[in-house]
Amino acid sequence: MILTFVVTSGLVFVRSDPELALRFDAHNSQALERVAMALAVKGTPGSARMAERLAVRSLLESPMSGEGASALGFARSILTPARDESSTFKYSAQITRRDVETQMWLVEHYVALGDIAKALETYDHIFRISDEYRAKLLPILLQASAQPQVAHAIAAVLASNPPWKAEFFGGLLGAFPGAENFNLLVNAMRFSRTDPDDRNRVSLAMAQLVEHGRPDFAFALYRRFTGNVSSSAIRNPRFDQAGGLTPFEWSLSENDSLSAQPGVNDANAPVLLLINRGGQSGDFARQLLVLRAGTYRLAFTTGNITGSVTERPKIELRCNSDTRTLTSTALPASPALGGIRSIIPFTVPSSCPAQWLSIVAGNQIDRQSNNPWVTDIAVDASSPSARR
């Protein structure tokens, strides 16, 4: 009975009160390692000496005590600062990778050695085992990502698809470590085309790159993610495909007053219906293009267009960087059946690397009574420079 009481008491108190557990069982390795660690982290020479003795006892009782090895390393690093205790901590890490204190010591050790790859590998272990430390350390990692050398090392870790990838991406949007590093890190992440959350992340990443003046990076990311390497300047010209991966696919207005809805015309052909229920202004639809400098032809088919020139919807092309208008044309009056094909020439200057193509509501006073539509939008190069 006495033996049973001692064993049971040691198990009960080893976590809640390890010092009390030692009173019942002086050979309890778990209690020894926990008391040793508590003393070691106090950081004083006196507590470090006591921690060293208890940690050694813990390892004698249980050579596979990871926390005991970690406590021994901390204690000796206080008592003999010049001594290299890395082997002790590495031994602890080999036994268990769930000891955060050991992992933190190793991070500082690898950073001091300039071994960024090993430091980030250890960060990855910490992020996987401790929500608390991940929340504390993630901002530090995000700040460090502004350094190209660190960004490349982080990208290597992200390529392994760690479980904290989404959390890191969310922080990256706010930290934005420069367009080059941001592009590197986002491209390292394994986003899934079929995951709606990942599609939204890629869309947000592309918008950030465009906003920071690198539509070329954004478009390359779009092509890699979607696998769409078509030479066509317009994605989904007939509005008959699923998509919506903005900004390089159509962004359609969906509010109660102004709505752009894929549908069919009277000939049952796919079109975009332009519905203005309250005389509202704004964009029905828009898509970002990346046309080279040169001259082009914008072509489109419209139908069921009525009203004065100012009341009709317009099709516009503007520079993304400074909103210069490259062309702005009211959709021509068109019959409901068959429609009318229009061709508009325009020029893209060299200072305009990306362009917004928009279908804009006209200046209507009253509610629109018909359902105007547009389809088959195309942009073709008409100069050699634009065809390159």
What pLDDT, on a 0 to 100 scale, did the predictor assign at position 147? 92
What pLDDT, on a 0 to 100 scale, did the predictor assign at position 363? 78
Helices and strands, number each (H, E), in the chain: 15, 10
Tens-place pLDDT, residues 126-185: 888 888 888 888 998 899 999 999 999 999 999 999 999 999 999 999 999 999 999 999
Tens-place pLDDT, residues 211-270: 999 999 999 999 999 998 888 899 999 999 987 899 999 999 988 889 999 999 988 999
- pLDDT at 109 > cutoff 70: no
- 1-96 folds as 1.25.40
Tens-place pLDDT, residues 336-384: 888 999 999 999 999 999 999 999 998 765 555 578 999 999 999 987 6
Q: Dig out the tokens for 113 from the structure.
A: 């050695």
Q: Dig out the tokens for 80 from the structure.
A: 């003999």
- 251-387 folds as Jelly Rolls (2.60.120)
Nearest to 179 by CA among 217, 227, 127: 217
The packing angle between helices 196-211 and 215-226, to 10°, is 160
What pLDDT, on a 0 to 100 scale, did the predictor assign at position 116? 83
Phi, psi (rounded to 5 degrees) for 328: -145, 115
Q: Dig out the tokens for 162 from the structure.
A: 């760690």
pLDDT level of residue 307 (50, 70, 90 thresholds) = confident
> What is the model's pTM?
0.75
Provide mean pLDDT across the span 272-300. 92
In angstroms, the CA 331 to CA 262 distance is 18
What pLDDT, on a 0 to 100 scale, did the predictor assign at position 154? 94
- pLDDT at 316 > cutoff 90: yes
Please check whether residue 324 is in contact with residue 333, taking contact to mean a CB–CB distance below 8 angstroms. no
